[in-house]
């Protein structure tokens, strides 16, 4: 089983619908991240969480919200999806100490908003 699991892997939805992407991890890491990947733009940080009580906005948080339900679970919500939120979304984790910069990624959730 993957250490960082994302569900769903693929989702097609319509404009205005609420969507939740879920992430769970078995690595025991405190830090979790949500990134968005668009062709030619690389990955951009949406939200990150350093522990259950700590949630921070990334560079492109508008239109998104997150919930850290437990150390192992971090979900991303689109309250009212719009077409320009069509993208590949990645959840990632990292350790608090050591391993500077090493993020461990899930396999991605491809979201299409029609």
Q: Rounded to whole angstroms, how far apart are CA atoms 63 and 72? A: 24
Q: Which stretch binds another protein (CB under 8 A): 17-25, 61-69, 70-78, 98-106?
A: 98-106
Instruction: Decide: 23 and 91 in contact? Cβ < 8 Å.
Output: yes
Stretch that binds another protein, among 12-20, 36-44, 62-70, 77-85 (CB under 8 A): 36-44
Q: Select from 26, 30, 34 the least CA-distant residue to 56.
A: 34
Q: Which is nearer to another protein, 44 or 73 (CB)?
A: 44
Q: Does residue 107 interact with another protein by CB under 8 A?
A: yes
What value, to the nearest 5°, has the Cα angle with vertex 4 and ends 51 and 59?
A: 55
**Which position among 11, 13, 22, 43 is part of the footprint of another protein (CB under 8 A)?**
43
- Which of 42, 53, 62, 84 is the binder for another protein (CB under 8 A)? 42
* Of residues 81 and 92, the one with the C-beta less far from another protein: 92
Number of neighbouring beta carbons within 10 Å of residue 84: 9
Residue pair 91/8 in contact (Cβ under 8 Å)? The answer is no
Residues that bind another protein (CB under 8 A): 4, 31, 33, 35, 40-45, 48, 50, 58, 90, 92, 94, 100-103, 105-108
């Amino acid at each position: 089983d993957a250490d960082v699991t994302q569900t769903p892997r693929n989702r097609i939805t319509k404009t205005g619908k609420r969507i939740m992407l879920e992430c769970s991890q078995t690595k025991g890491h405190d830090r979790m991240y949500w990134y968005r990947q668009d062709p030619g733009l690389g990955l951009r940080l949406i939200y990150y969480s350093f522990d259950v009580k700590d949630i921070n906005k990334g560079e492109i948080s508008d239109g998104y919200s997150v919930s850290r339900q437990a150390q192992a679970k971090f979900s991303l919500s689109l309250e009212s999806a719009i077409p320009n939120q069509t993208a590949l979304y990645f959840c990632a984790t990292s350790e608090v100490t050591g391993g500077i910069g090493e993020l461990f990624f899930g396999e991605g959730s491809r979201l299409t908003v029609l």
